[in-house]
Amino acid sequence: MAVAPYASPIERVWYYGFRVFCGAIFFFLIAPILAIVPLSFNAEMFFTYPMPGLSLRWYEILFGTEPRSVLWQRAMYNSLVVGISATVLATGLGTLAALGLSRASFFGKGTVLALLLSPLVVPIVITAVGVFYFYAKLGLASTYLGLILSHTTLGVPFVVITVLSTLTGFDHNMIRAGQSLGASPVRVFFKVTLPLILPGVVSGALFAFATSWDEVVVALFMASPEQHTIPRRMWSGLRELLEPTIAAAASLLIVLSMILMGTMEMLRRRSERLRGIRP
């Protein structure tokens, strides 16, 4: 929106100064990405500018057949298995929790909600230590199941928040109408409730997947060498052999994050249209 023609000089200075300030903050946040992506095409194995040439050799390592490639490909496989499994569990549990919290009124409701959202505010190191000691006693440390359950714990709060926000404008009379017509609670959920809250459910699932895909601290505690995920493999690479393959993997993660952000924005707009907020 352009500045109003009747704006005073001070208002014009504030208008343009505020936008320059916001642009500077945005550049400060985006600068590391602008620096790391070109380095993934560096012909030499150095993180330096200017680059002597361009090459796809580091991407070929990610998808090639040499020993290093096997490690990266195993990490990709682990990230997909753990991420998808944790997303399915977090989406189911978080959706059920959000539905219960939105429809029921009981003593300690705020405490239950705070506990569900606690992984968002508790330092991740404390969470990682807690889940490690808990699952170690159950014999689940250094197992796929333990890693999946740990990532599920981190993903549930995102699902709860997004589904609860979707349920804010939900008309519960539609549920009563379905029940009055003889539909069972399960049928009402799948035919009435779920289609209306689906954008929020999918958005929460995408947040949960992104959280699992990008998580490294819990993986440091819970994953064995055979269960290294992409972020865990990148961490090992930073300690053992610093090369642009890490930049190539980071660039792929950036592309995936951009796709997820675009998808979530589309779902947000669809949800607003369904709720009549925007045409």
SS (H, E, C) the chain: CCCCCCCCHHHHHHHHHHHHHHHHHHHHHHHHHHHHHHHCCECCCCCCCCCCCECCHHHHHHHCCCHHHHHHHHHHHHHHHHHHHHHHHHHHHHHHHHHHHHHCCCCCHHHHHHHHHHHHHCCHHHHHHHHHHHHHHCCCCCCHHHHHHHHHHHHHHHHHHHHHHHHCCCCCHHHHHHHHCCCCHHHHHHHHHHHHHHHHHHHHHHHHHHHHHHCCHHHHHHCCHHHCCHHHHHHHHHHHCCCCHHHHHHHHHHHHHHHHHHHHHHHHHHHHHHCCCCC
Asked if residues 159 and 208 have their Cβ atoms less than 8 Å apart, the reply is: yes
Q: Is the pLDDT of residue 271 over 70?
A: no
Q: What is the pLDDT of the chain when averaged over all its residues? A: 83
Q: Is the pLDDT of residue 55 over 60?
A: yes
- pLDDT for 120-148, tens place per residue? 888 889 999 999 999 988 888 888 999 99
Domains delineated in the chain: 71-274 (1.10.3720.10)
Q: Is the pLDDT of residue 57 over 60?
A: yes
What pLDDT, on the 0 to 100 scale, is given for residue 141? 85
Q: Specify the pTM.
A: 0.81
What pLDDT, on the 0 to 100 scale, is given for residue 82? 93
How far apart CA 119 and CA 154 sit, in angstroms, is 6
Q: Is the pLDDT of residue 3 over 70?
A: no
Work out the pLDDT band at 279, boundaries 50, 70, 90: low
Work out the pLDDT band at 2, boundaries 50, 70, 90: low
- Report CA-CA distances (Å) from 215 to 150, 229, 266: 10, 9, 25
Choice between 168 and 210, residue whose per-residue pLDDT is larger: 210
Q: Which amino acid is at 203?
A: S
Which residues are within 8 A (CB) of 225 and not within 5 positions of it... i.e. 6 or more apart? none
How far apart CA 61 and CA 45 sit, in angstroms, is 12
- pLDDT for 214-223, tens place per residue? 888 998 888 8
How far apart CA 224 and CA 13 sit, in angstroms, is 57
Work out the pLDDT band at 4, boundaries 50, 70, 90: low
Give me the mean pLDDT over the 84-110 stretch: 87
How far apart CA 46 and CA 40 sit, in angstroms, is 10
